[in-house]
Structure formats: structure tokens, C-alpha cells
């Protein structure tokens, strides 16, 4: 597989192409792309990160990020989209990482839908980012192909650029409890008072939104309650077990 060429973008013709690519990926009309060329032009001109990935001169992915808090240490990656199955998304994130390091930054944050298993795997296992905060209906209802009218709950993932790469597999300690289990395609709540809590994810939430919206909504509410509740209490997501469940460690309370 040929490696994509990645470069920063500044010209309106390039940014117009990115906006159209995003509209195609998210399944929106061209004039309702997740981000406009004009906004990307402003961000790029102000020194933020706007980059495109090309294969044989064809745009196959792009990423947009801007400086965030704490000032001088963090970059917030707002949107990354790429043709699936070609390694373009990973190449973009690694390029973004080097760009941030060259500017003295120590971490990159972004939001993602905690119900999408492939995104959780990519973020936690391939990159080593960790969810830090649960945001309920962050963008309001979103009616594109990916979100399917679901509420836009997101988690903030933080990527520590100074940390070593995490292991590919997450070992479960004895006594780990299933706080949320997949039972025949439906979420089944369990105990969340163990030191380590497991939170299952549905096999394919995007397909479920189309075929069984009630089940999709049940998953949204259940993950919001379990994962969102644990993060609010100070728990940490430490890994993704078997590509299908979050491994969450509750804070240790010393008497």
C-alpha cells in the first residue's frame, strides 16, 4: 500500500476540496459540510493546523486542529476524516503529533463518540489517548449519515505526547466487574462499585441506529450513565479489552 503524502493546506482551492471530502464522508450536502473552507482558511492563516493527505495527487483525508487550553501546551483536534481501510487516519494523526511537538506542545485533545468501537480502538490502542471527560449531547442532535439523528454525546480524549506507547492488549485484574454488558444486542447494567469496571460497547452502533433506533438509544443512555458517571467521579479509562469494552479504574479511597 502506497504511503500517503501529507502537507499543510492554505489555498482556498485545497480547502474547498477538503470541505467536499468531509461532506462525502459525513453524508451531508456539499453546502452543509462539517466545516467550511472559509473557516479552515481563517484557522490556517492564524497558524493553526490544517493538513491534507494525498495518494497520487488525490485528496484522501484531512485534519483540522487549533491551539487550546492550557495555552502553549495543548492542541485541540477538531475534525479528522479519511478514506477508511488505508491507514490514512493514522498517518494524519502521526503528522499532527510531529507538528505539535515541533511547536513545544505536550498534548492533543479531541472528542469522539464513545459508542463507536472502531474509534475507541483507534484512539485508545493505536494512539494511546485516554478519555478524560464525558460531554452529554455536545453538539445537539446530528442528522448526518454517521450520527443518524442520535444525541451527540462525546468524550474528550487526551493524547499525552510525552508518554510511551501503551501495550496493545489490556490485562484485566482479578475482581473486574461488568458495569455494562452486551446481552443479545441490548445493554445490561451491572455493578459499578468494583475497583475495575468493564463497559461493553455495541457491535455496530451506526448500523443499529438504522435498524433498531430504540436499541441504539438504550445504548446511548446506558453508556452515558455508566461511563459518564464513573468519569465524573474521577475514574480513569485505562484501556480497551478485546476491542469491545472500556476498562475503567475507580479512584482508590484511603481510610
pLDDT of residue 253: 62
Query: Who contacts 9 (Cβ-Cβ below 8 Å, separation ≥6)?
Result: 15, 18, 40, 44, 50, 51, 52, 62
Closest among 74, 184, 61 to 132, alpha carbons compared: 74
Please count the CA atoms within 13 angstroms of the CA of 112 that sit on its side-chain side.
23
Domains of the chain: 5-160 (3.40.630.30), 177-249 (no CATH)
At residue 183, φ and ψ (nearest 5 deg) are -120, 100
Closest among 5, 79, 4 to 48, alpha carbons compared: 79
Residues with pLDDT less than 50, the chain: 255
pLDDT of residue 141: 72
pLDDT of residue 150: 72
What's this model's pTM, rounded to 2 decimal places? 0.91
pLDDT of residue 144: 60
pLDDT of residue 164: 87
Task: Give the model confidence (pLDDT) of 15-27 as tens digits.
Answer: 999 999 999 999 9
Task: Give the model confidence (pLDDT) of 188-211 as tens digits.
Answer: 999 999 999 999 999 999 999 999
Amino acid at each position: 500500500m502506497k504511503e500517503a503524502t501529507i502537507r499543510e493546506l492554505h489555498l482556498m482551492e485545497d480547502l474547498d476540496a477538503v470541505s467536499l471530502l468531509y461532506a462525502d464522508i459525513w453524508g451531508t450536502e456539499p453546502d452543509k459540510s462539517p466545516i467550511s473552507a472559509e473557516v479552515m482558511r481563517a484557522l490556517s492563516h492564524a497558524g493553526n493546523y490544517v493538513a491534507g493527505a494525498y495518494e497520487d495527487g488525490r485528496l484522501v483525508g484531512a485534519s483540522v486542529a487549533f491551539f487550546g487550553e492550557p495555552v502553549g501546551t495543548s492542541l485541540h483536534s477538531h475534525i479528522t476524516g479519511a478514506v477508511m481501510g488505508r491507514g490514512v487516519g493514522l498517518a494524519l494523526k502521526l503528522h499532527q503529533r510531529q507538528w505539535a511537538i515541533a511547536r513545544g506542545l505536550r498534548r492533543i485533545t479531541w472528542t469522539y463518540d464513545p459508542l463507536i468501537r472502531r474509534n475507541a480502538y483507534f484512539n485508545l490502542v493505536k494512539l494511546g489517548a485516554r478519555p478524560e471527560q464525558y460531554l452529554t449531547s455536545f453538539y445537539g442532535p446530528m442528522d448526518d449519515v454517521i450520527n443518524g439523528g442520535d444525541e451527540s454525546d462525546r468524550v474528550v480524549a487526551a493524547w499525552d505526547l510525552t508518554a510511551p506507547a501503551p501495550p496493545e492488549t489490556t490485562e484485566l485484574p482479578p475482581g473486574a466487574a461488568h458495569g455494562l454488558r452486551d446481552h443479545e444486542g441490548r445493554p445490561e447494567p451491572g455493578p459499578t462499585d468494583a475497583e475495575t469496571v468493564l463497559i461493553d460497547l455495541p457491535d455496530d452502533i451506526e448500523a443499529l441506529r438504522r435498524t433498531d433506533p430504540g436499541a441504539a438509544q438504550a445504548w446511548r443512555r446506558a453508556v452515558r450513565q455508566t461511563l459518564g458517571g464513573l468519569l465524573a467521579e474521577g475514574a480513569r479509562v485505562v484501556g480497551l479489552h478485546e476491542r469491545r469494552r472500556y476498562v475503567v479504574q475507580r479512584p482508590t479511597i484511603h481510610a
